[in-house]
């Protein structure tokens, strides 16, 4: 870029243009004055054009004036260069300015060619004057029409005022009639709504009465069934007791038979006591009088005591009891005897519904927040429909279950309440009938003081 700049402004290789005029003063001044005046004229014309375009911003072809101004300025610059080169032979710069002047001149000429038809299409002053006269005629006609319209409008407004007054009176009458109809409709709706409300209340009362009757009938059936079961279950251990007592009173037996008789009497007496204790526990739970003796409890010892208590029942059916204990289980706060009762009830339930030669598994493990005891069996399983009711009082799958396996249906309900008193939960899972069941007890790891406060 610097090289090009130096090239344009280099004059060492040339001689000034004044040498062509032999430096004759008259001839030199002739060219200086003529070129200077021409340049001044060329520079003044664009100024006039710029001013004209700025004042007449509505010109349709204002850019043409700007093009003319551009090439006229370029022409004026070439005349100034003629004066400059008289003493300074920068002919390359002079030629470059002429090239620029030629370029903008040719471009302007080319732009004028398509512009001529458009310029010719512009209306002439005579045409504009004729159009203006027509416009004035139309304006006069419009004013006349507006006066006529104003007169008709006045008449129309008077007519509208009259009709509006009539409409207002009619509207007032209609509003009165509508208001009367509305009051009538509101009264009808209120009456219908009240009737429907009373009907719904009657239906709701009827439904509640039917539901209460069904519940009462179901409760009566459960009560009658429970009383029948209770009578049977209380008599069941008494029969062998009374039978052996009468035999011992009327006959003499050897020591082995006597021991067997006393064992049977003792076992049935304990069974009788267990039935009575279950009934008492239910009464205490219902009346919120069951209390816990809280201490630190080793659940492994609880499970061992419960298994020892139920070992005879398992041995009688050749059922194996497998025990899996996590040695890292921490002691919990609770009632040792009541927790043994919970595990014992679950074991009793598992042994009762497991066929001879089956298997019962007891597991103990601990996670971050609780201790978990699970009792699984390979017994008859539980129907999915009965699982939601299995922890309710006096509930067994059907009456045939009671006849076949015995029991009052209290053990699981008591176990659930005892677990909840310890702040825990008990749940059951069964794949279905014939596939066994698993009861899971979860007890929280809380200090004894917190559990006492909870109670």
Residues 391-441 pLDDT 10s: 887 666 554 444 444 455 677 888 888 899 999 999 999 988 888 999 999
Of 72-76, 216-220, 255-259, 299-303, the least confident: 216-220
CA angle 295, 297, 301 (to 5 degrees): 145
CA distance 425 to 361: 19
Residues 257-283 pLDDT 10s: 888 778 778 777 776 676 677 667 677
More confident residue, 140 or 119: 140
- pLDDT for 48 equals 76
- pLDDT for 324 equals 94
Of 191-200, 374-383, 416-425, the least confident: 191-200
- pLDDT for 197 equals 86
Average pLDDT over residues 190-196: 85
- pLDDT for 16 equals 75
- pLDDT for 432 equals 83
Residues 25-41 pLDDT 10s: 878 788 888 888 888 87
Q: Yes or no: say if 322 and 362 are a contact pair by the CB < 8 Å rule.
A: yes
Average pLDDT over residues 329-353: 90
- pLDDT for 107 equals 80
Measure CA of the first residue to CA of the last residue in the chain; give whole Å: 99
Q: Delineate the domains of the chain, giving CATH numbers in brackets.
A: 2-122 (no CATH), 293-454 (3.30.565.10)
Average pLDDT over residues 66-70: 72
Average pLDDT over residues 118-138: 71
Q: Yes or no: say if 263 and 248 are a contact pair by the CB < 8 Å rule.
A: no
- pLDDT for 60 equals 65
Q: Yes or no: say if 78 and 84 are a contact pair by the CB < 8 Å rule.
A: no
Percent of the chain with pLDDT over 90: 17
For residue 129, pLDDT beyond 80: no
Q: Which of 68-77, 153-162, 217-226, 318-327 has the highest mean pLDDT?
A: 318-327
CA distance 253 to 19: 171
Average pLDDT over residues 106-131: 69
Residues 228-239 pLDDT 10s: 555 545 565 666
- pLDDT for 372 equals 94
- pLDDT for 307 equals 92
Average pLDDT, the chain: 78
Q: Which of 161-170, 305-314, 359-368 has the highest mean pLDDT?
A: 359-368
Q: Yes or no: say if 267 and 424 are a contact pair by the CB < 8 Å rule.
A: no
- pLDDT for 405 equals 43
More confident residue, 160 or 365: 365
- pLDDT for 300 equals 93
More confident residue, 148 or 371: 371
- pLDDT for 56 equals 72
Strand pairing category for 359-366 and 320-325: parallel
CA distance 255 to 252: 10
Of 47-51, 183-187, 336-340, 361-365, the least confident: 47-51
Q: Yes or no: say if 361 and 376 are a contact pair by the CB < 8 Å rule.
A: yes
Average pLDDT over residues 207-216: 80
**Pick from 432, 312, 445, 318: nearest CA to 372:** 445
């Amino acid at each position: 870029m610097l090289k090009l700049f130096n090239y344009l402004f280099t004059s060492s290789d040339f001689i000034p243009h004044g040498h062509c005029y032999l430096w004759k003063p008259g001839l030199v001044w002739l060219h200086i004055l003529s070129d200077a005046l021409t340049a001044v004229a060329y520079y003044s014309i664009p100024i006039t054009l710029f001013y004209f375009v700025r004042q007449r911003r509505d010109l349709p072809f204002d850019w043409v004036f700007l093009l003319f101004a551009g090439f006229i300025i370029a022409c004026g610059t070439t005349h100034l260069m003629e004066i400059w080169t008289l003493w300074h032979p920068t002919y390359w710069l002079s030629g470059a300015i002429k090239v620029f002047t030629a370029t903008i001149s040719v471009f302007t000429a080319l732009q004028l060619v398509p512009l001529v038809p458009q310029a010719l299409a512009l209306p002439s002053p005579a045409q504009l004057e004729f159009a203006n006269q027509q416009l004035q005629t139309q304006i006069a006609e419009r004013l006349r029409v507006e006066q006529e319209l104003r007169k008709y409008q006045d008449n129309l407004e008077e007519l509208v005022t009259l009709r509006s007054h009539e409409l207002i009176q009619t509207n007032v009458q209609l509003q009165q009639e509508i208001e009367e109809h509305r009051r009538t409709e509101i009264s009808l709706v209120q009456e219908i709504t009240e009737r429907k409300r009373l009907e719904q209340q009657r239906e709701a009362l009827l439904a509640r009465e039917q539901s209460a009757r069904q519940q009462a009938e179901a409760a009566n059936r459960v009560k009658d069934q429970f009383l029948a079961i209770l009578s049977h279950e209380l008599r069941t251990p008494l029969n062998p007791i009374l039978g052996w007592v009468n035999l011992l009173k009327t006959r003499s037996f050897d020591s082995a038979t006597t021991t067997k008789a006393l064992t049977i009497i003792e076992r049935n007496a304990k069974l009788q006591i267990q039935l009575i204790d279950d009934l008492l526990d239910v009464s205490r739970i219902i009346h919120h009088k069951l209390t816990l003796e809280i201490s630190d409890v080793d659940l492994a010892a609880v499970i061992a005591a419960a298994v020892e208590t139920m070992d005879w029942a398992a041995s009688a059916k050749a059922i194996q009891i497998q025990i899996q204990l996590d040695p890292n289980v921490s002691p919990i706060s609770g009632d040792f005897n009541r927790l043994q009762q919970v595990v014992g009830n679950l074991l009793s339930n598992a042994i009762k519904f497991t066929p001879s030669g089956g298997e019962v598994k007891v597991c103990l493990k601990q996670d971050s927040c609780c201790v978990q005891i699970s009792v699984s069996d390979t017994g008859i399983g539980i129907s999915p429909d009965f699982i939601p009711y299995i922890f309710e009082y006096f509930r067994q799958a059907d009456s045939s279950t009671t006849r076949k396996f015995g029991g009052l249906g209290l053990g699981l309900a008591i176990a659930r309440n005892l677990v909840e008193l310890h702040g825990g939960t008990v749940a059951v899972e069964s794949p279905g009938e014939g596939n066994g069941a698993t009861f899971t007890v979860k007890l929280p790891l809380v200090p004894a003081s917190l559990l006492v406060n909870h109670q």
